[in-house]
Structure 1
Amino acid sequence: MAAMTALTTLCPPPGQAMDIHWATVEANLGTPLPQDYKQLADRYGPGVFNDYVHVYHPHGVTEYVDLTGPMPGRIRAQLRKDHKQGTHPVPYDPETLFACAGTGNGEYLFWITDPAGDPDRWRIAVNEARGPGWFTYDGTLTAFLAAVLGGRIRVPLFAPDLAEASARFAPARPALRKPVPFSDARPVDSGTIRSWARARGYDVPPRGRIPLEVREAWERRAPKG
């Protein structure tokens, strides 16, 4: 992809590409993901661009940057509330917005998941951290990062000096967690897990597979939210 070539030229990846099991990730999320994002996550791993943009990753080292963790669901719940109460104008149906990154200033980046079945056509939306503003980019997440870090576009909601320094990527630490198959988890009533997870802010579907992050948290009984 031209956008990936532009990004890796501008900001070289930190090391060897990862080998992410995307079929499992997409099954857990219940949605296909854009091809450019899968290449981005494989090439760079979890981490932060220019000490500012944290792209959510299936191997995120904390729940706050984990694509399969509770953050996308929590953010969507807040958007639903804002949309219903008119707190801030949300220019898109909250159900079509999937949080895929965040910034050090508190903005969120979203995929506009329309059309739902064609993720390579998803665009990017950014909301203002402490205000009503939104910014829309008609392209992929990788193209957006290359354009912003390369100074070809300016997002009014972002820090004004974001592209002034040379583009850089800092890998997250500690070492990555590897996902485990559902068969490794001990049998348990799924309704109990769903009730436990919803009480802690996880976005859990009413039926079907329970996301891996929820299963892992249930095994640890780690309180979230």
Structure 2
Amino acid sequence: MPEDHEKCDRFIAALTPLCPPPGTVRTVRWAAAEEALGTALPTDYKRLVETYGGGVFAGTIWLLEPDCPDPMYDLVAQTAERDEILADLWAAGEKKPVEIEEGGVRLVPWGYVEGAGHFLYWLVRPGAEPEEWTIVLNEGRGPLWEAHPASCSQFLLDVVAGTSTSYYFAGIDDMVDPEDRYRFMPTSRFPA
């Protein structure tokens, strides 16, 4: 696991000069959040939240955080809401992505894309360590899914740096206002 910690530190260290963190963040009660979710969370995600807090990267990707006063940006509240929404979609006949057809697999959202409605999830497989989870992106207004074998910080770094392999972020410069391109705006700065 030390190698995993070094990788996440490396991605966060590369992200912070491109997209400077706010300086102060809320304290997160990690044990309570993990208990509410019924799973441990990736160390990478915890370090990202401890560095930035919740908020929006490059004017487009919202990082959810536990204990956020606004349920729209709260990891635990959004997990419950997304579970319900996805269950309704699948009950109505929308096809599940093949990655979650196997038993015991669940999705936990960690971010979403402003305006488009895309959600970023961890693919949580039984027996898999949080650092082994795959990121899956669900198209906000359609049935398409994309898988990325990356951590949160690596995914965000790739988007901010303009090196993402995601179809949805290939043209980031066309999607984002130039003044927002390398900015992180914490949730605490938005009116509740």
- TM-score, normalised by the number of residues in structure 2: 0.80
Aligned residue for 2:147, secondary structure, equals strand
Instruction: Give the structure 1 partner of residue 137 of structure 2.
Output: 126
Q: Is contact 2:108–2:123 with CA below 8 Å preserved after alignment?
A: yes
Q: Which runs of 5+ in 2 are unaligned?
A: 1-8
Whichever residue aligns with residue 108 of structure 1, its letter is F
* 1:148 and 2:156 are equivalent in the alignment: no
Instruction: Give the structure 2 partner of residue 87 of structure 1.
Output: 94
Aligned residue for 1:109, secondary structure, equals strand
Report the structure number with the largest CA radius of gyration: 1
Q: Is contact 1:133–1:157 with CA below 8 Å preserved after alignment?
A: no
Q: What is the distance in 1 between the residues matched to 2:127 and 2:26?
A: 26
Residues 135-174 of structure 1: matches in 2 within 5 Å? 135-158=146-169, 160=171, 161-162=174-175, 165=178, 166-173=181-188
* 1:40 and 2:51 are equivalent in the alignment: no
Q: CA deviation at 1:36?
A: 0.4
Q: CA deviation at 1:101?
A: 0.9
Q: Is contact 2:79–2:109 with CA below 8 Å preserved after alignment?
A: yes
Q: What is the distance in 1 between the residues matched to 2:34 and 2:122?
A: 15
Q: Is contact 1:149–1:162 with CA below 8 Å preserved after alignment?
A: no
Q: CA deviation at 1:9?
A: 2.4
Deviations 1:142-197 (A, max 9, x none): 1100011111114223483247843210112369xxxxxxxxxxxxxxxxxxxxxx
Instruction: Give the structure 1 partner of residue 109 of structure 2.
Output: 99
Q: Is contact 1:40–1:142 with CA below 8 Å preserved after alignment?
A: yes
Q: CA deviation at 1:90?
A: 2.6
Q: What is the distance in 1 between the residues matched to 2:71 and 2:157?
A: 26
Whichever residue aligns with residue 122 of structure 2, its letter is W
Deviations 1:76-99 (A, max 9, x none): 222233334432443332742111
Decide whether aligned partners of structure 1 residues 54 and 99 sit closer, same or farther in structure 2, where only a CA change above 3 A counts. Answer: same
Greater than 6 Å deviation, 4+ residue runs: none
Number of aligned pairs?
Answer: 176
- TM-score, normalised by the number of residues in structure 1: 0.69
Q: CA deviation at 1:116?
A: 4.6
Q: CA deviation at 1:12?
A: 1.3
Q: What is the distance in 2 between the residues matched to 1:37 and 1:146?
A: 13
Whichever residue aligns with residue 93 of structure 1, its letter is I
Whichever residue aligns with residue 133 of structure 1, its letter is L
Q: What is the distance in 2 between the residues matched to 1:16 and 1:62?
A: 18
State, as a whole percentage, how many aligned pairs show the same letter.
32
Q: What is the distance in 1 between the residues matched to 2:37 and 2:53?
A: 18
Q: Which runs of 5+ in 1 are unaligned?
A: 176-225
Instruction: Give the structure 2 partner of residue 60 of structure 1.
Output: 68
Aligned residue for 2:66, secondary structure, equals coil
CA RMSD of aligned residues (A): 2.6
Q: CA deviation at 1:18?
A: 4.7
Decide whether aligned partners of structure 1 residues 174 and 167 sit closer, same or farther in structure 2, where only a CA change above 3 A counts. Answer: closer
Q: Is contact 1:110–1:124 with CA below 8 Å preserved after alignment?
A: yes
Structure 1 stretch 156-165 or stretch 136-145: which is displaced more?
Answer: 156-165
Identify which of structures 1 and 2 has the higher relative contact order when contacts are C-alpha pairs closer than 8 Å and 6+ apart: 2
Q: Is contact 2:62–2:113 with CA below 8 Å preserved after alignment?
A: yes
